[in-house]
Amino acid sequence: MPLSSSFQNRVLPRLKQLYGADAEQTLARIAPLAEKYTHLKRPTREPLWDERDTILITYGDQIQPDDPSAGQTALHEQTEFLKAHKLEGLLKAVHILPFSPYSSDDGFSVIDYREVDPNVGTWDDVAEMGESFDLIFDLVLNHCSQHSQWFQDYKAGKAPYTNYFIDVDPATDVSQVTRPRSLPLLTPVETTEGTKHVWTTFSDDQIDLNFAHPDVLIEMLDVLLGYAARGARIIRLDAIAYLWKRLGTSCIHLPETHEVVKLMRDVLDEIAPGTILLTETNVPHEENVSYFGQGDEAHMVYQFSLAPLLLDALLTGDGSVLMGWLSDLPDWTPGTTVFNFTSSHDGIGVRPLEGLLAEARFANLIQAVRDRGGHISTRRKADGSDSPYEMNITYFSALSGPGGESDEFHLRRFLTSQAVMLALRGIPGIYFHCLVGTPNHEAGVQETGRAR
């Protein structure tokens, strides 16, 4: 299937901004992908979403089989669980959190993007769930696992993987780089060429990919289209804000990052029409909605400010800040919408409160979460200090009594939080632990050393 002239006219300027003299050659490398995935050229469902769209967010191994030795898989078991509880008519889609082989971060340190973790199931199990629900996959594209074959080949000096990662002189001043974690930005690794310091935004196990080289872009476009071919109706771009690196800048929300998202949108519209892009940017509201572009970037963004503002309103009994924020929300660009949720695999992000909640009230919210058994994760700021980044607590426990006690008022308050989220403009997402009302699991924190 040849690429349309309109597609080429849109994409070539983007590629020139990203790759300069290599732009035309990079465009030529997209053409074989169109041929490989020609079967994805299907009629677009109109509208792309409506009032019936409700999403379940869950891990593929959330429901464990009674007898794994009998060939049952966790993903099959979860499909059966959802059908047994008659959720097919209530949930339109299931977001299966990363289900590829991984080495850390609950799936977000991917070893092989094209395989399914055998502890979760198989591609056949994914397809089985897709027979009853629309599917949402994560494209963890900012980084991959240090145990991936890509990174092993990088360390061995094998082409083209020497282009896949970013190494920086450790003497370089990287103080301007925005940090989502209180961890070192550069990680030393041993290669056939000696010690190199590679860029690691999130952890020393998650090695950032080098999108400044066309090889990485083409590789990830193939993964993106492969997910669409495997049945993904919505593809979530994880940690997209940090994608492009340019020394001397904050390395967050760079123009090149937005161009990559627009390019992915162009590719999907051309080769796999009807596939929806969802960007994950846990940042202040105005920065978050910038990923709508002019209606030419993400179809959908997370409504990150909702969860902490709703929690603040219900704990204080004062909904003025929440209502003021909701009243100020603009009409979204046609063809875009927001994803409303109260809880997910991450903690409750607090950067989306910047500019919305007064300092004293924010401090009270942090303390209220601690009083209910929550933990606070931090990030490293440019001045070297640490500040709260997310509140690690289940939404059910966050709305309990001051000491974590539960009573009828607690239950009503929690149900109210979900009702408000479901009623708002946008597409609602229900995390599995909100669906079943899971309390904190402090023993798990102690066993793993991780607060999430």
- Distance from C-alpha of 421 to C-alpha of 343, rounded to nearest angstrom: 11
Residue 226, SS3 per DSSP: helix
Eight-class DSSP state of 347: -
- Dihedrals φ, ψ of 397, to 5°? -70, -30
- Maximal CA-CA distance, the chain: 65
Catalytic residues: 238
Using left for φ > 0, alpha for ψ between -120 and 50, and beta otherwise, residue 319 falls in alpha
Q: Pull the structure tokens for residue 439.
A: 């309390």
The residues, ordered by sequence, that sit 6+ positions from 369 with a Cβ below 8 Å of its Cβ are 348, 376, 391, 393, 398
Q: Tell me which amino acid residue 188 is.
A: P
**Three-state SS letters, 47-115:** CCCCCCCCEEEECCCCCCCCCHHHCCCHHHHHHHHHHHCCCCCCCCEEEECCCCCECCHHHCCECCCCC
402 half-sphere exposure, CB direction, 13 A CA radius: 3
What is d(CA 291, CA 23) in angstroms, rounded to the nearest whole number?
23
Provide φ and ψ at 86, rounded to 5°. Answer: 55, 45
Tally of CB atoms within 10 A around 12: 14
Q: What is the DSSP letter of 247?
A: T
The sign of the CA dihedral 359, 364, 368, 374 is positive
Which run of H or of E encompasses 191?
A: strand 186-191
Residues linked to residue 374 through DSSP beta bridges, in sequence order: none
Q: How many residues does the chain have?
A: 452
Question: CA-to-CA distance for 74 and 65, rounded, in angstroms?
Answer: 6
Tokens of 225: 């289209």
H-only helix segments in 114-188: 123-130, 149-155
d(CA 42, CA 35) in angstroms, rounded, equals 14
User: Cα separation of 186 and 179, whole Å?
Assistant: 12
